Amino acid sequence: MIAGDSDAEWGERSLGIMRRLAEIIARRLETDAFTQLQERRMQEFAGLAKVASTIQSTIDPDRLYSGFAMAVRDLVPYGHLYIARVDVHDGLAQVSSFDSDGNLMPARESDPADGEHAWLAQRSIEQWAAEDGVPSFIEDDDRFGLVAPMRPKGQLLGLVAIGTRDPSLGQAKTLLAQATEHL
């Protein structure tokens, strides 16, 4: 909107200037949007590189999973992150839980029925809601989240789940899938 004398008529020259000004502003807005997208992608790549570096730096599973949780929190904000490992009989062997800062939480007893949960049969990353039924190791305040199977070469080694109160996970699904591929 341009302020001016309401009785004044716009000539061809004034209209041309206004069109060029509008084009300049539109290009600037488009450039800003692309710059923001590029910066977000650079942050995502840096986060994935951090995950890969963490995984390559240790063979100790506890240190590995703790480093993974800290690296993932830079990619995907979560309330809790869970890493469940399966045993030789495809039941749950151990579940490591991490708080929103990526710190290991005290171990919780899991229900033996958790070893039969549908999450262990998944082939790809999926979104979940607590109302659909979740394993007992999921904290009560995690209402929504993602679960990604750890299946190198098709064999289930475990799963990674993140929990949050917010149902909108945006790009989190893609980023968690890419991060989990490194485990």
Mean pLDDT split into 10-residue runs, the chain, 183 residues: 60 85 86 76 66 62 78 84 82 85 82 86 89 91 90 81 82 73 67
DSSP 102: S
For residue 54, the model assigns a pLDDT of: 60
For residue 157, the model assigns a pLDDT of: 83
Q: Yes or no: say if 183 and 68 are a contact pair by the CB < 8 Å rule.
A: yes
pTM above 0.75? no
For residue 144, the model assigns a pLDDT of: 92
d(CA 180, CA 148): 7
Q: Which of these CATH numbers, 3.40.50.970, 3.10.20.30, 3.30.450.40, 1.10.10.10, describes 43-181?
A: 3.30.450.40
Q: Yes or no: say if 39 and 46 are a contact pair by the CB < 8 Å rule.
A: no
For residue 58, the model assigns a pLDDT of: 58
